[in-house]
Amino acid sequence: MKIGIDLGGSHIGIGLVDENGNILEKKEKYFDNYNISEIEKTIEEFISEQVIQMSLAYRIEFIGIAIPGTVSENKIIKAVNLGIENYDLATQLKEVLHIDVKLKNDAKCAALAEQKYGELSQYDNSVFLCIGTGVGSAVFMDGKLLEPKGLPGFEISHTIIQKNGLLCNCGKRGCFETYASIKRFKEKLSKEFNIHSIDGEVIRDFIRKNENNPRLKYLLNNYIEDLSIGISNIINIFEPEAICIGGSFAEYEDILYEPLKQALLKGNLLFNKRNDIIIKYAKLKNDAGIIGATLI
């Protein structure tokens, strides 16, 4: 039995997960004022409740936490959305709970879950992309998650796809993430067409109802073009058997899937030409972080 924790921008999801990746108990909490002490308090409360409920019948092997940011040697180096830098969350929690705590980047956790129980379980060589506000990524080769020894690496989202392009949160210009961010894409559509929301459902409805609008077509094509450049770079380096996309991007599967596939296959982007590309959409959705955190 393990505890998996997914830390989001303003939300924390905690689950008691069994050996087969099933979530037996789950607690979710949303915060207005999100800070590290609130996070620690919520985790401590959940663990105490579980330990009492289970009457210590199960031994909790460890607590795994999916962190939206950079993790190195089990410490948080930087998590902008949590307002944390150089913080040893694992040691802090272990001192209170007396259970081992392991941390890993959230996209890598979601990728591990998808590879073990989801859409990537059939493939040894694959790439996982989490496209939401930012872009997270993970690469599997021979069934193993690739990880450098020191810093986590695989910052595919911060590879530059446009010289002197848009300023990225990381301080560089022209990063893949600034062009692939689904949040940014929605904001652009909302501003351009005076839609008073960037809610996924509202934007999706608008796209469906206005598919022949030339300006909308242009913006969609533009987005797909940027996205396909970034993804083709990944394909050219790793030649994965399949790519799995998670995050809020996956909600637009019916709108973006085919154009993305066609842009990759028909454009002059791939070094090794292919007749087909397997693009999957994440199956485990919001539970991927919790389940993946127990696979660290």
What is the chain's length? 296
Residue with tokens 């960037």: 198
Say whether residue 231 binds Zn ion (CB under 5 A). Answer: no
* H helical segments located in the chain: 36-53, 89-97, 106-117, 176-180, 182-192, 200-209, 214-238, 253-266, 288-293
Residue 166: what residue type? Answer: L
Sole binder of Zn ion in the list 29, 78, 102, 172 (CB under 5 A): 172
Least distance CB 168 / Zn ion (angstroms): 3
Least distance CB 85 / Zn ion (angstroms): 17
| Of 57, 83, 52, 85, the residue nearest 71 (C-alpha) | 85
Least distance CB 282 / Zn ion (angstroms): 23
Contacts with Zn ion by CB under 5 A: the residue count is: 5
Sole binder of Zn ion in the list 43, 135, 168, 288 (CB under 5 A): 168
68's CB contacts (< 8 A; 6+ apart) are 7, 8, 9, 79, 81, 82, 105, 106
Interaction with Zn ion in 80-139: which residues (CB under 5 A)?
none
Say whether residue 184 binds Zn ion (CB under 5 A). Answer: no
Stretch that binds Zn ion, among 34-42, 76-84, 101-109, 158-166 (CB under 5 A): 158-166
Least distance CB 42 / Zn ion (angstroms): 30
Measured between alpha carbons, how far is 230 from 120 in angstroms, rounded to an integer?
Answer: 20
The angle subtended at Cα 294 by Cα 76 and Cα 110, nearest 5°, is: 75
Sole binder of Zn ion in the list 23, 51, 170, 265 (CB under 5 A): 170
Stretch that binds Zn ion, among 25-33, 53-61, 162-170, 257-265 (CB under 5 A): 162-170
Stretch that binds Zn ion, among 167-175, 199-207, 217-225, 250-258 (CB under 5 A): 167-175
Three-state SS at 158: helix
**Per-residue DSSP letter, 166:** P
Say whether residue 158 binds Zn ion (CB under 5 A). Answer: yes
Stretch that binds Zn ion, among 18-26, 71-79, 152-160, 235-243 (CB under 5 A): 152-160
Site residues for Zn ion per CB under 5 A:
158, 168, 170, 172, 175
